[in-house]
């Protein structure tokens, strides 16, 4: 490639760069469009200053998550410990019965459990709570290092993660991982189906 | 009730923090602004939109070739930014984060358009707009026409590198493509543009 040709590309690029024009009306439309939207992210996650290390995170994990769910029909068999033990990498944990659900439109109770012996606190963050680090803390269980919480979730697809000690974003090792193409975070995905 | 896991590939990717050695003369906004916006400052969010809107429109228009679609892509992008600022890391840079969202929107809209176009029945005669005579085209039109002929990946790489003046490291964050592949895309785009523009100039003489 000779100098003239480089100049040609630079001329083309310079010409294209001139195509940026301020458009106050379009900007106003965007600001108007976001005005009424919920502001969950005001309660933003307190990110650590150190780079996020997935490898380090995975070393911290000796985790399992159990989804406890129950139908309103007493005849329907709930998941038992044997079934849970059969899941890959799962550590059988007792499933705590949740409230019986009545009415098809009602949210369904889902239990999230994490095992991390080094964690001092664990929060469940997801699209259902606006990724709030304070909305859904997990409670320590009877077994050392186990944490759990049961929350009502509507049927559908939910994306979530655990926030350990307020700084480590952790996916559920047993769940399918979803990478949001836009934001880069690996999250876990759960699909709740109505009975 | 039954709970199922979604079958999706477990691909992990994280936005890397800024590396001082690779940050070019910055076109990025003051890092305090996105952090203030993330903290709930509506004025800071407005400042973000004001700062980046013209560049986003430029990129989207060159990628999509249509003003209306470009406006849609840019508006969607800023709304997604608003909705997900809580996930913006304080040690990340805002510009590649924003352009990643925008580039994805543009790709989605292009794919949607291709799908629409493929639905046109074969018996339907296309309406061809009258083109301006070659010799009346100015350089911008020539370059835009040449850009339009590039494959999407090459056009994207060329625009990010030569028009938005982003580093290859930032481009890797935006596109999720390796540096060597990006360099090849830019080179191929430059080669194709150069050939086309030389040809156009030859015609003009």
- DSSP for B143-162 reads HHHHHHHS-HHHHHHHIIII
Distance from CA of A143 to the nearest CA of B (A): 25
d(CA B35, CA A176): 31
pLDDT value at position B171? 94
User: What average pLDDT does this structure show over A136-147?
Assistant: 88
User: What average pLDDT does this structure show over B36-49?
Assistant: 92
Interface of B with A in 148-167 (CB under 8 A): 159, 162-163
> Do A54 and B12 lie within an 8 Å CB cutoff?
yes
pLDDT value at position B188? 96
**Who among A20, A40, A189 is closest to B5 (CB)?**
A189
Identity of the highest mean pLDDT range in A81-95, B16-30, B74-88, B175-189: B175-189
Q: Does B147 touch chain A (CB under 8 A)?
A: yes
Q: Does B129 touch chain A (CB under 8 A)?
A: no
> Do A30 and B49 lie within an 8 Å CB cutoff?
yes
A48-192: CATH topology is Immunoglobulin-like (2.60.40)
Helix or strand run (H / E) with residue B2? strand B2-4
User: What average pLDDT does this structure show over B124-134?
Assistant: 44
Q: What is the DSSP string of chain A?
A: --HHHHHHHHHHHHHHHTT----HHHHHHHHHHHHTS--GGGS-----SSPP-HHHHHHH-----------S-TTSPPP-HHHHHTSTT----PPPP-PPP-STTS-EEEEEEEE-TT-S-EEEEETTTTT-TTTSBPEE-SSTTEEEEEEEE-SEEEEEEEEETTTEEE--TTSEEEE-TTT--EEEEEEEE--
Domain parsing of chain A, residue ranges: 3-35, 48-192
d(CA B111, CA B89): 30
**Residue of chain A whose Cα is closest to the Cα of B3:** A192
* Stretch(es) of chain B classified as CATH 1.10.10.10: 136-205
Least Cα distance to A43 among A133, A122, A121, A125 occurs for: A133
* pLDDT of A29 strictly over 90: yes
Q: Which sign does the torsion angle of CA A123, A128, A129, A135 carry?
A: negative
Q: Does B185 touch chain A (CB under 8 A)?
A: no
Distance from CA of A23 to the nearest CA of B (A): 7
Chain A residues with CB-CB distance to B4 below 8 A? 191, 193
* Stretch(es) of chain B classified as CATH 1.10.1740.10: 27-120
**Who among B5, B75, B193 is closest to A176 (CB)?**
B5
* DSSP state at residue B20: G
d(CA B184, CA A60): 39
pLDDT value at position A39? 62
For the domain spanning B27-120, the CATH number is 1.10.1740.10
User: What average pLDDT does this structure show over A7-27?
Assistant: 91
Chain A residues with CB-CB distance to B36 below 8 A? none
Q: Does B32 touch chain A (CB under 8 A)?
A: no
> Do B1 and A193 lie within an 8 Å CB cutoff?
yes
pLDDT value at position B204? 61
d(CA B3, CA A99): 17
Phi and psi, residue B65, nearest 5° = 75, 5
Q: Is B29 helix (H, G, I), strand (E, B) or coil?
A: coil
Helical H runs in B65-178?
Answer: 67-84, 94-118, 139-149, 152-158, 168-175
- B78-87 pLDDT, tens digit each: 999 998 887 7
Chain B residues with CB-CB distance to A31 below 8 A? 45-46, 49
Phi and psi, residue A100, nearest 5° = -70, 140
Least Cα distance to B13 among B119, B86, B100, B83 occurs for: B100
Distance from CA of A14 to the nearest CA of B (A): 7
> Do A54 and B82 lie within an 8 Å CB cutoff?
no
d(CA B76, CA B27): 22
d(CA B14, CA A48): 14
Return the CATH class of domain B136-205.
mainly alpha
Confidence of residue B73 (pLDDT cuts 50, 70, 90): very high
Distance from CA of B120 to the nearest CA of A (A): 30
**Who among B38, B74, B197 is closest to A44 (CB)?**
B38
Q: Does B91 touch chain A (CB under 8 A)?
A: yes
Show contacts of B129-138: CB within 8 Å, 24+ apart.
B134/B200, B134/B203, B134/B204, B135/B203, B135/B204, B137/B200
């Amino acid at each position: 490639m000779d100098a003239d040709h480089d100049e040609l590309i630079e001329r083309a690029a310079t010409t294209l760069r001139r195509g940026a024009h301020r458009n106050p009306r379009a900007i106003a439309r965007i600001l108007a469009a976001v005005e009424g939207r919920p502001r969950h992210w005001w309660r933003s996650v307190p990110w650590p200053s150190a780079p996020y290390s997935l490898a380090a995170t995975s070393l911290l994990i000796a985790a399992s998550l159990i989804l406890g769910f129950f139908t309103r029909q007493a005849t329907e068999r709930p998941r038992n410990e044997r079934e849970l033990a059969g899941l890959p990498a799962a550590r059988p944990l007792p499933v705590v019965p949740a409230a019986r659900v009545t009415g098809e439109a009602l949210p369904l109770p889902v239990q999230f459990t994490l095992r991390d012996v080094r964690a001092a606190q664990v929060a469940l963050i997801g699209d259902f709570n606006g990724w709030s680090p304070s909305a859904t803390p997990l409670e320590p269980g009877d077994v050392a290092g186990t944490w759990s919480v049961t929350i009502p979730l509507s049927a559908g697809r939910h994306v979530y993660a655990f926030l350990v000690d307020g700084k480590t974003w952790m996916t559920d090792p047993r769940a399918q991982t979803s990478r949001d193409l836009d934001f880069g975070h690996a999250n876990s995905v759960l699909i709740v189906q109505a009975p | 009730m039954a709970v199922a896991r979604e079958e999706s590939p477990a691909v992990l990717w994280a936005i890397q923090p800024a590396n001082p050695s690779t940050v070019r003369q910055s076109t990025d906004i003051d890092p305090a602004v996105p952090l203030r916006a993330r903290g709930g400052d509506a004025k800071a969010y407005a400042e973000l939109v004001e700062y980046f809107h013209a560049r986003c429109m430029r990129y989207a228009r060159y990628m999509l070739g249509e003003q209306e679609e470009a406006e849609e892509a840019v508006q969607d992008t800023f709304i997604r930014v608003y909705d997900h600022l809580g996930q913006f890391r304080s040690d990340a840079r805002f510009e590649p984060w924003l352009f990643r969202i925008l580039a994805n929107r543009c790709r989605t809209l292009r794919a949607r358009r291709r799908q629409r176009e493929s639905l046109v029945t074969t018996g339907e005669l296309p309406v061809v707009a009258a083109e301006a005579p070659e010799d009346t085209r100015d350089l911008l039109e020539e370059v835009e026409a040449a850009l339009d002929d590039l494959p999407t990946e090459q056009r994207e790489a060329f625009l990010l590198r030569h028009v938005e003046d982003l580093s290859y490291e930032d481009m890797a964050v935006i596109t999720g493509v390796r540096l060597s592949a990006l360099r090849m895309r830019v080179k191929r785009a430059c080669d194709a543009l150069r050939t086309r523009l030389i040809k156009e100039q030859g015609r003009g003489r």
